[in-house]
């Protein structure tokens, strides 16, 4: 065997050896436990605080809003896209159901008891959902934008769309914008 090939083989063996030693230190302990990723990453993600709830959960207390939404053009938009994450809100009102709610006509559904909603029971801010009436809020999706497909979301020119000083929700109820 020519001498230079022997040297190449030795150099190659050294590099492979270094690779395996470095790998021992660099690969995280739980890598490969479940698949080609770090096993601990699953545990870390599972331990994060919950923020969102199922849309069905909202429906259990807001059936009328949900029915209205389902009847019109915003039906494919999840409540939490417009109102923010609902986990805290949901937990709070589940625990305080009796103070705020009465049974609705269907089984397992409740509705906000408007007669009992007096200023004497203050709900801390962190448990409220957001509900923006600002034009900017609707325009996040509906502002004329050449990069957005007109077929997916209808767009408007804000300088040329009816009364430019009026809030959109005055003319388009957000849960049934086309009604």
Residues forming contacts to ligand HEC in the complex (CB under 6 A) are: 53, 57-58, 60-62, 65-66, 69, 73-74, 77, 79-83, 86, 89-90, 93-94, 97, 100-101, 110, 112, 117, 123, 128-129, 131-133, 135, 137-142, 153-154, 156, 158, 161-163, 166, 168-172, 174-175, 177-178
Q: CA separation (Å) from 153 to 74, 90, 170?
A: 10, 30, 20
Nearest residue to ligand HEC, by Cβ distance, number only: 86
Cβ 126 to ligand HEC, closest distance in Å? Answer: 10
Query: By C-beta, is 31 or 87 nearer to ligand HEC?
Result: 87
CA 24 to CA 73: how far, in whole Å?
Answer: 56
Cβ 157 to ligand HEC, closest distance in Å? Answer: 10
Query: By C-beta, is 38 or 135 nearer to ligand HEC?
Result: 135
DSSP 11-80: HHHHHHHHHHHHHHHHS-TTBTSSSSSBHHHHHHHHTSPP----HHHHHHH-HHHHHHHHTSTTTTS-HH
């Amino acid at each position: 065997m020519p001498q230079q090939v022997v040297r190449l083989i030795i150099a190659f063996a050294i590099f492979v050896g270094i690779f395996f030693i470095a790998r021992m230190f660099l690969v995280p302990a739980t890598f490969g436990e479940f698949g080609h990723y770090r096993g601990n990453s699953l545990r870390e993600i599972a331990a994060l605080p919950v923020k969102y709830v199922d849309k069905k959960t909202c429906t259990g207390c807001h059936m009328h809003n949900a029915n209205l939404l389902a009847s019109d053009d915003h039906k494919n938009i999840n409540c939490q896209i417009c109102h923010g994450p609902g986990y805290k809100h949901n937990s709070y009102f589940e625990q305080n159901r009796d103070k705020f709610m009465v049974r609705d006509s269907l089984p397992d559904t409740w509705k906000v008891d408007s007669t009992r909603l007096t200023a004497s029971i203050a709900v801390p801010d962190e448990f409220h959902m957001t509900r923006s009436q600002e034009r900017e809020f609707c325009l996040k999706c509906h502002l004329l934008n050449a990069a957005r497909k007109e077929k997916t979301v209808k767009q408007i020119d804000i300088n040329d769309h009816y009364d430019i000083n009026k809030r959109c929700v005055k003319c388009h109820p957000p849960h049934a914008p086309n009604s």
